[in-house]
Structure 1
Amino acid sequence: MTTFADHLRQLPPVSHLAELQLINAAGQVAATIENKPGKAGSLAVYHALAAKHGSINTAAAQEGLQLFAEHTESARQHPGSHPNIDRLFEVIASGQGYTVRLVQA
């Protein structure tokens, strides 16, 4: 099985980013993923998904759950422990996605 760490090695670098903002349908910043330890992996996943899909939509969320690999099952079993994965579950369940704003470092 391919792990989250394996997937991260395949994703584009994010060292040029300070953060990534998720913008809801009302144009408000719904969430921010900072480029810092413990969050940089999520930043890399969301950055790659937005580049490929143009936004965080249902298709992007489904791919994201695959990229998060073993952490996806942990998030299913422990809601709230992985908020960036929980957000992908919500996008799939609601069909409501996010546009992405990249903030340069």
Structure 2
Amino acid sequence: MKTANFAENLANLGSIDAYAKLELIDAAGSTVACIENKPGSQGSLKVYRHLAAKWGAINPDAAAEGVQLYAEHTEDARRNPGKHPNIDRLFDIVASGSVYSVQLTPAVSA
């Protein structure tokens, strides 16, 4: 699904307007990450929501696709660990074989 760049990849993913946030839940039922629908994290929310819808969870296969979807940001994340925590998390999932379920919180309509 990878196209030329991250912006083009995002344009091909579904809308996140209906969601306030996405949480990753580990096997013990604990929330390990939260991606909110706010400037600076909306791209990641789109990627993770897409992956969860396609794969049913964020598993190593989903994470590998996510790494591709981040396009040019992936190499920057490899060179600068900690700069892109949502990409770093995908690297960790691929390496560890971890699986996280996803909980989407609907946006409150005004």
Counterparts of 1:58 and 1:98 in 2: how far apart (Å)? 10
Instruction: Note the C-alpha offset of 1:47.
Output: 0.1
Consecutive unaligned residues in structure 2, runs of 5 or more: none
Counting aligned pairs with the same residue, the percent is 57
Q: If the length of structure 1 is used for normalisation, what is the TM-score?
A: 0.98
Within 5 Å, give how 1:63-74 maps onto structure 2.
Answer: 63-74=65-76
Instruction: Note the C-alpha offset of 1:25.
Output: 1.1
Counterparts of 1:60 and 1:72 in 2: how far apart (Å)? 15
Q: If the length of structure 2 is used for normalisation, what is the TM-score?
A: 0.94
Counterparts of 1:67 and 1:61 in 2: how far apart (Å)? 10
Within 5 Å, give how 1:1-105 maps onto structure 2.
Answer: 2-105=4-107
Q: How many residues align?
A: 105
Pairwise CA RMSD: 0.7
Consecutive unaligned residues in structure 1, runs of 5 or more: none
Give 4+ residue runs of structure 1 displaced > 3 Å after superposition: none
